[in-house]
Amino acid sequence: MRALIERLSAWMFALAGAALTAMMLLTALDVALRAFSRPITGTYELVGLLGALTLGLALPQTTLAKGHVRMDLLTDRLTTLGKARLLALTRLLGLVFFGVLGWNLFILAENLRAAGEVTLTLQVPQHPVAYVLAFCCLAQCLALGLGLRLEKEARS
C-alpha cells in the first residue's frame, strides 16, 4: 500500500508541476502579447483553474515529504512523546478535514455538472476541476494515513 500511495503522490506531483508550468507559460505569453494588443482571451480563468489543480495535486507529495510549514515555537518546548502526540493529533485532524472537504467537493462537482456550470469567457466546464480536487483530498487522506503509520512504526 505504501508503494502505491507514494507512486500516486509522485504522479500527482508531476501533474502539479505541469499545471504550474502551463500557468507560467500562459501568463508570460499573455503579458508578451499584450504589448502587441493581442492578449489571450480567458487567461484569468485558465490560470485560476490551473492554480487550483496545482495546489490540490501537490498536497499529498508535500505531506509525504514533510514539506508543510510547521510552527516550532510550541513544538520545541514539548517532549519527544508530546511532539509525537501532537503530530498524531494534527494528522488525525487533517484526515477528518480532508475527508469532509473531499466529500463536499464531490457534492459540489455533482451540482456543477448537473447545472452545466461553465466559466464565463471560455465556457470551460467547472465540474472536472472539482472532481479532481475531490480526488486530491482522498489522496491527501491516504498520505496522512501513511504518515501516521510511518510515525507509529518509527516510535516502535
* Mean pLDDT score across all residues of the chain: 93
Is pTM beyond 0.85? Reply is: yes
Question: pLDDT tens digits, residue range 101-113?
Answer: 999 999 999 999 9
By the 8 A CB rule, do 58 and 16 touch? yes
How far apart CA 78 and CA 138 sit, in angstroms, is 31
**pLDDT beyond 70 at 156:** no
More confidently predicted of 83 and 107: 107
Question: pLDDT tens digits, residue range 28-69?
Answer: 999 999 999 999 999 999 999 999 999 999 999 999 998 887
